[in-house]
Structure 1
Amino acid sequence: MENKKYKTKDLIGRFIPYFKPYKNVLLLDLFCAFLTTGCDLILPMILRFLANKGTEDLSSITVQLIASLAGVYLVLRIIDAIANYYMTRIGHIMGARIETDMRKDAFDHIQKLSDSYFNNTKVGQIMSRITNDLFDVTEFAHHCPEEFFIAGVKIVISFILLSRINLALTTIIFIFIPLMVIFSMDQNRKMKRAFKKQRVQIGELNSRLEDSLLGVRVVKAFANEDIEAEKFTQDNRKFLGTKKETYKYMAGFKIITCIFDGIMYLVLLIAGGIFMMKGLIQPADLFVYTLYVTTLLATVKRIVEFAEQFQRGMTGIERFIEIMDSDIDIFDDEDAKELNGVKGSIKFKDVSFGYNDTDKKVLSDINLSIKEGEKVALVGPSGGGKTTICNLIPRFYDTTEGNIYLDDKDIKKITLKSLRKNIGIVQQDVYLFAGTVYDNIAYGNPKATKEEIIEAAKLAGAHEFISELKDGYDTYVGERGVKLSGGQKQRISIARVFLKNPKILILDEATSALDNESEYLVSKSLERLAKGRTTLTIAHRLTTIQNADRILVLNENGIVEEGNHKELLEKKGVYYQLYMMANEIA
C-alpha cells in the first residue's frame, strides 16, 4: 500500500466523513471565525470614517464621536476575544476527537489483518502510523476549514471594499495573488513528498529502537552495544537528512512570500502615489487602502505558511489511509454462523497452502481426520508444515486450496470470534502482557471471578509459586513477563487457557525451551489441560508425545507416516530414525 499514490482531493474526500459527528461544533467554529474576521475588517473602515470626517471638518470630531467609535470597537474586541476562545479551545478538542476516532479505526482495522501483514510490516512502522502520524491531524482538522474559510471571507470582503475605494488599483493588486499561488504550488508538492519521507524514516527509527530495546539482553550478551549504537546513528542521520530536505522547501515558501510581499507594497506605493497625484484617490482612502492590503497580505501569507501544517496533516492522513486500505484477508463470510455446542472433530480435505510472497507450497493436498477428544502429535523436520497445519485451524491464515471442517462445518462458514473462542493455544514463546499475574490469567476469560482464576492457576500448577511471589496474584510481571522464569510464564499461559476452557487445544512446542524440572511441571499441567479436549501437539522432543493416540510424521512431502509410538517404531521408517537420533543426542 505504501507505493500507492493518493491525490490531495482523494485524501480530503476520505477525511471529511470524520467531521460528521462534530458538524455542529464545526459550524459554530466557522461562525466564530467569521466574527473574528469581521472584527479585523471593520477597524480600517472606522479609521477611514474618522479620517474623512477630520479632513472635511476637524471641528466635527468630538469627544462623544470618539467615545462612540471606541465603544463600537470595544464591543467588537470583546466579541473577538470570546470567538477566539471558542475557536482555540473547542475547535482543538474537536480536532483531538477526530484524531482519537481515526486512531481507533486504525487499531480496529489492524486487529483484523492477517498474520501475513505483520510478517511483512515492521511493528515500529505500524506504531508510528497510529501514534505520531496522527498527532498533526488535531491541528489539521481544526485549522484547515477555519484557515481557508477566514482567507476566503477576508479576500472577498477586502476585494469588495477596496474596489469601492478604487477599482483600478484593486485590480492591479489582486493580479498578483493568483501568481503567488501558482509559484507556491511547486514548492507545495515538493514539501508533501518531503513530509512523507520524514514520516517513513521516523517509522524506521522507531523500528530500530524497538528492535534494540527488545533484544537488549542479546546485545549485552554479545557486547555489541557499539554496533547497535552505529545502526541507530545511521537511521538518526537519515531522519536528519529528511528534515533538512523539508526545511529547504519550507524556506522556498518563505522566499516566495517575501518576494510577492515586497512586489505588492511596491505596486501600491507607485500606483497609489500616481493615483493620488492625479486625484483618483484621497489621502485618507490611500491610508485605509494600505491597511486593507496589509490585512490581505497577512491573510495570503498565513495561508502560504499554513501549507506546512496542511502538508503535515495530509501526510498523516495519507499514512492512515494506507493502513485502512490494507486488505483484510481473513474475514467472516456473509453467511457465517456462531459455533455452539462444539464437540471437537477436525477434518482437512485436499488442503494446500503457500505464502503470498513465494510460489512454493508449504502444504499440498493434505487429507486428515481427527476425532473428538483425540490426542494427535505432529513431528518431523522444520519446514514440514507442522505449525502451518495448526495455524490454519484458527484461521490465522486461510487455505490456498481445499477446506477445513470443525464438527463437519466448514470453518470459513463459522464466525472468527466463535471459532477462535473454542481453540486454546500454548506456544513455546509465551507472551505475557505488562500487568499483574492476575491480569494475565484473566485474559483467558475477562468475565471470570477471582475464585475461577485461582482454580485455573491451581489446575495449571501455578498457584503455589504465585502465592510465594511478593504480591501474590497482584505481582507485576514486567514487560513480556521479564520478571518470571520460563517455566513460571508457561504455567501462567496454561492457566489462561484453563480459564478459557476451549474444546480444542494446540500445543506448539510448549516445553521445548524449558529445563528438565520446569518441563516436568509444565508437562503435568498440560496433561491436565488436555484431558477431555481434542489436542494437537507439535513436538521436537519425542519423549513428550509417546502417549499420543496418534502421531503424524511430516516432511516436505506431507504426511509420510501415521500411527502410535509403538507402531511407528516397528515400521523403522522416518519416525524411527528421528527417535534413534534423539536418543543418540540425549
Structure 2
Amino acid sequence: MQEEKMRQPVSWRVTWKMMRPIVARYWGWIVLLILLSVAAACLVVSEPYLYGHIIDSVTSSVSGHIAPADGFAAIVPLLAWWAGIVLVESLLVAFAAWIGWYVGNMLELQIGERSFARILALSIHRFQDERAGAMMSRFANGKEAVWGLNNQILRVAIPSIATFALIVAVGLHLDWRLTLVALAMVPVDAAIGLYHLRVSLRRQDLMNDKWEETTGLAGDAFSNITTVQGEAGEKLVMGRFAKTYMQVLREQLRINVRWAVVDASTSFINISGRLLTFVVGVQLVFAGTTSLGTLVTFLGFVSILYASVQNVFAGLPEIARSFSRLGRLAHVWDEVPEVRDRETARPASGLRGEVEFDDVVFKYADAGRPVLSGVSLKIPAGKTFAVIGESGAGKSTLAKLMVRFADPTQGAIRVDGIDLRDMTLATLRPQVGFVMQENMLFHDSILYNIRFAKPKATREEVIAAAKRAQAHEFISTRRSSCSTRRRARSIRRPSTICRSRCAR
C-alpha cells in the first residue's frame, strides 16, 4: 500500500501544499530578489541600446567629416553612462546572488527540519515496509532539490524572463519589424523544451524511484554487515547492487541523451534566429529604413534574448530532476500517521503503572488472522509480569501496543484506568520503558544514549539509572569514557545501556 502510494505521479498540488507555508516566510526576500532582477535586466537591455547610439554617433561623425577629437568627445558621455551601468549592474547582480543563496539556504533548512519531523512521526511499520536507505535518499534528495529549484527559478529563470520581456518591449519601440523577426524562432524553441520537460518529468520520477532502490540496497548491506560478511555474501550483495545500478544508469543516460538533443536543437535555433535577424536588418539598412546603430542594437538584443531563452531551457533538466525529487518528499508529507493523537487527547502525567488489557484484538494489515485475539489481563502497578510463548505468539506485539507503536484493532489498553489513545504520544512514551530483543545504539557516547529519553538528566542521574539497571559496573570497566562518542556502538551488550535508559 505504501509502495503504491510512493509510486503515484508527482503532483504540483501536493508539492505546493508542502512548500507554500515555507515559501511564505521568505516572500519579502523573494519579492526583493525579483525587483533586483528586473532592475538588473533594465541595465542589461540598456547596454546594446547605448552601444547602438555610440555606433550611430561614430558613423555620423565620420560621414560629416568631424574632427576625431570632437567625434570622440561626443561619445564620452555615452561611454561614461555605459561604465556606470556596468558598475551598478554588477552590484545588483552580486546583491541578488546573495539574496538567492540566503533564500535557498533557508528554504533548504526549513524543508529539511520539517521533513525530518514528519518522517519521525510516521508509524513504525512504515519504516518496516521500506528500506531505511531509500527513505534516507528521498529525504536527502528532496532537501537538496529545494536548493536546485531555488537556483534555477529565482537566480536563472526569473532574471532571464525579465530580461526577455524588457528586450521585447524596447525592441517593439525601436523597430517592430526586427523585433518580430528576432522572435520568430522563439515559439519553436519553447515548444521543443516544454515537450521534453513534460516527458522527462514522468521518466525522471520513475528514475528517482530506482535511484532510491540502489541506496536502499546499500543501506540494507551496511545495516546487516555481520550477516553479509559472516555468510561471505559480499559478491552476492555487490552483484545485486551493480545490476540494479547499471539498469538505472542506462535509463538515466537515455534521459540525458534526450536533453542533449534538446540542447543541440535550441543552439541551432538560436543561431538561426541571430542569422535571420542579421539578414533582414542588413536589408533594412540598405533600404534606408533603419540605421546601422539600430541594427547593431538589435544584434545585441538578439544575443541577450536567445541567451535568456537558452538559460531557461538549459535549466529544465535540473528543474525536472529537482521537482520530481521534491514531489516524492511531498508525498511523505501528505501521509497521515496511523498512530496519532486524538483531538481530545490529554497529557499523561505521573503514571503509577497499573496496566489493563481489555479484550484486545490486534491484526496486522497484511496478516490473514489476528496476532492477538481477546486478550484480557490486569497488571498491578509496581509488579513484575512475564509473558512466555513461542516465536510469533504475539509477545513483542503486546509490548508494542503498550508504547502505541500500533493501536488495538478492537478492545482497549488502559494505564491507571485511562485509555492509551486518550493520552498524547509525547507524554505517554517517555513514561514507558522499552527494551527489544535486538537493540541498536546511536552512534554517539554512552552518556548520550542513556540520556536520550531524558536529555536534561544530570550526570549523577545517569549514573544512578545505570546502577538501577545493573550496568554501572560494566560501563565503568570500559577503558573509554562514558562521554566518548566513538566507543558507544562497539558495546557488546547494548541491552545494558537500553535498560539504563529505561531506569531513568
Fold equivalence (TM over 0.5): yes
- Trace 1:365-514 onto structure 2 (pairs within 5 A): 365-476=374-485, 478=487, 481-486=488-493, 489-499=494-504
Identify the residue that residue 170 of structure 1 maps to in structure 2: 179
Superposed displacement of residue 420, structure 1: 1.1
Superposed displacement of residue 304, structure 1: 0.8
Identify the residue that residue 363 of structure 2 maps to in structure 1: 354
Identify the residue that residue 27 of structure 1 maps to in structure 2: 31
Superposed displacement of residue 14, structure 1: 4.1
Is contact 2:142–2:328 with CA below 8 Å preserved after alignment? Answer: yes
Is contact 1:477–1:484 with CA below 8 Å preserved after alignment? Answer: no
For structure 1, which segment, 318-327 or 340-349, has the greater mean C-alpha deviation from structure 2 after superposition? Answer: 340-349
Superposed displacement of residue 436, structure 1: 1.7
Q: In structure 1, how many angstroms separate the alpha carbons of the residues matched to 2:318 and 2:216?
A: 25
Give 1:357's aligned amino acid: D
Q: In structure 2, how many angstroms separate the alpha carbons of the residues matched to 1:460 and 1:412?
A: 29
Q: In structure 1, how many angstroms separate the alpha carbons of the residues matched to 2:272 and 2:448?
A: 67
Give 2:495's aligned amino acid: Q
Superposed displacement of residue 263, structure 1: 3.0
Q: In structure 2, how many angstroms separate the alpha carbons of the residues matched to 1:484 and 1:129?
A: 31
Q: In structure 1, how many angstroms separate the alpha carbons of the residues matched to 2:379 and 2:61?
A: 106
Q: Which SS does the other structure have where 1:429 is aligned? A: coil
Identify the residue that residue 293 of structure 1 maps to in structure 2: 302
State the TM-score, normalized to the length of structure 1.
Answer: 0.80
- Trace 1:17-416 onto structure 2 (pairs within 5 A): 17-58=21-62, 59=66, 62-416=71-425
Give 2:106's aligned amino acid: R
Superposed displacement of residue 321, structure 1: 0.1
Q: Is the alpha carbon distance of 1:218 and 1:165 closer, same or farther for their aligned partners in structure 2, counting shifts above 3 Å? A: same
Superposed displacement of residue 159, structure 1: 1.5
Superposed displacement of residue 113, structure 1: 0.8
Q: Which SS does the other structure have where 1:375 is aligned? A: coil
Q: Is the alpha carbon distance of 1:337 and 1:233 closer, same or farther for their aligned partners in structure 2, counting shifts above 3 Å? A: same
Q: Is the alpha carbon distance of 1:455 and 1:371 closer, same or farther for their aligned partners in structure 2, counting shifts above 3 Å? A: closer
- 1:370-407 deviation per Cα after TM superposition (whole angstroms, max 9, x unaligned): 22233322122222222112211211001122222211
Q: In structure 2, how many angstroms separate the alpha carbons of the residues matched to 1:160 and 1:140?
A: 28
Unpaired runs of 5+ residues, structure 2, are none
Larger Rg: 1
Q: In structure 2, how many angstroms separate the alpha carbons of the residues matched to 1:99 and 1:439?
A: 27
* 1:3 partnered with 2:7: yes
Is contact 1:94–1:142 with CA below 8 Å preserved after alignment? Answer: no
- 1:437-462 deviation per Cα after TM superposition (whole angstroms, max 9, x unaligned): 22222223211111111122222222
Q: In structure 2, how many angstroms separate the alpha carbons of the residues matched to 1:69 and 1:222?
A: 79
Is contact 1:184–1:256 with CA below 8 Å preserved after alignment? Answer: no
Is contact 2:270–2:306 with CA below 8 Å preserved after alignment? Answer: yes
Runs of 4+ in structure 1 deviating by more than 6 angstroms, as ranges, are: none
- 1:216-254 deviation per Cα after TM superposition (whole angstroms, max 9, x unaligned): 232222222222221221122123223202211211221
Q: Which SS does the other structure have where 2:283 is aligned? A: helix
Is contact 1:393–1:404 with CA below 8 Å preserved after alignment? Answer: yes
Q: In structure 2, how many angstroms separate the alpha carbons of the residues matched to 1:340 and 1:210?
A: 39
- 1:69-92 deviation per Cα after TM superposition (whole angstroms, max 9, x unaligned): 222122212212222222223311
Q: In structure 2, how many angstroms separate the alpha carbons of the residues matched to 1:13 and 1:409?
A: 37
- 1:258-295 deviation per Cα after TM superposition (whole angstroms, max 9, x unaligned): 23213323432443343334333223222211111111
Q: In structure 1, how many angstroms separate the alpha carbons of the residues matched to 2:262 and 2:220?
A: 38
Is contact 1:351–1:399 with CA below 8 Å preserved after alignment? Answer: yes
Q: In structure 1, how many angstroms separate the alpha carbons of the residues matched to 2:474 and 2:178?
A: 87
Superposed displacement of residue 212, structure 1: 1.6
Is contact 1:456–1:498 with CA below 8 Å preserved after alignment? Answer: yes
Unpaired runs of 5+ residues, structure 1, are 500-586
Q: In structure 2, how many angstroms separate the alpha carbons of the residues matched to 1:167 and 1:204?
A: 55
Identify the residue that residue 525 of structure 1 maps to in structure 2: none
Give 1:382's aligned amino acid: S
- 1:511-562 deviation per Cα after TM superposition (whole angstroms, max 9, x unaligned): xxxxxxxxxxxxxxxxxxxxxxxxxxxxxxxxxxxxxxxxxxxxxxxxxxxx
Structure of higher RCO (CA pairs closer than 8 Å, 6+ residues apart): 2
Q: Is the alpha carbon distance of 1:139 and 1:409 closer, same or farther for their aligned partners in structure 2, counting shifts above 3 Å? A: same
Give 1:168's aligned amino acid: R
Is contact 1:34–1:153 with CA below 8 Å preserved after alignment? Answer: yes
Q: In structure 2, how many angstroms separate the alpha carbons of the residues matched to 1:476 and 1:157?
A: 58
Q: In structure 2, how many angstroms separate the alpha carbons of the residues matched to 1:220 and 1:90?
A: 50
Q: In structure 2, how many angstroms separate the alpha carbons of the residues matched to 1:258 and 1:379?
A: 74
Q: Give RMSD over aligned pairs.
A: 2.1
For structure 1, which segment, 26-35 or 119-128, has the greater mean C-alpha deviation from structure 2 after superposition? Answer: 26-35
- How many residues end up aligned between the 2 structures? 495
Is contact 1:154–1:299 with CA below 8 Å preserved after alignment? Answer: yes
Q: Which SS does the other structure have where 1:347 is aligned? A: strand
Give 1:40's aligned amino acid: V
Superposed displacement of residue 123, structure 1: 0.5
Q: Is the alpha carbon distance of 1:191 and 1:46 closer, same or farther for their aligned partners in structure 2, counting shifts above 3 Å? A: same
Superposed displacement of residue 13, structure 1: 5.6
Give 2:335's aligned amino acid: S
Q: Is the alpha carbon distance of 1:261 and 1:164 closer, same or farther for their aligned partners in structure 2, counting shifts above 3 Å? A: same
Q: Which SS does the other structure have where 2:357 is aligned? A: strand
Is contact 1:250–1:308 with CA below 8 Å preserved after alignment? Answer: yes
- The structure in which a higher percent of residues are strand is 1
Is contact 1:35–1:79 with CA below 8 Å preserved after alignment? Answer: no
Q: In structure 1, how many angstroms separate the alpha carbons of the residues matched to 2:121 and 2:141?
A: 21
Q: In structure 2, how many angstroms separate the alpha carbons of the residues matched to 1:184 and 1:9?
A: 23
Superposed displacement of residue 56, structure 1: 3.1
Give 1:33's aligned amino acid: S
Give 1:322's aligned amino acid: H
- 1:98-132 deviation per Cα after TM superposition (whole angstroms, max 9, x unaligned): 01110111110111111121111110111111113
Q: Is the alpha carbon distance of 1:16 and 1:277 closer, same or farther for their aligned partners in structure 2, counting shifts above 3 Å? A: farther
Q: In structure 2, how many angstroms separate the alpha carbons of the residues matched to 1:297 and 1:395?
A: 60
Q: Which SS does the other structure have where 2:449 is aligned? A: helix
State the TM-score, normalized to the length of structure 2.
Answer: 0.92
Q: Is the alpha carbon distance of 1:177 and 1:375 closer, same or farther for their aligned partners in structure 2, counting shifts above 3 Å? A: same
Is contact 2:100–2:154 with CA below 8 Å preserved after alignment? Answer: no
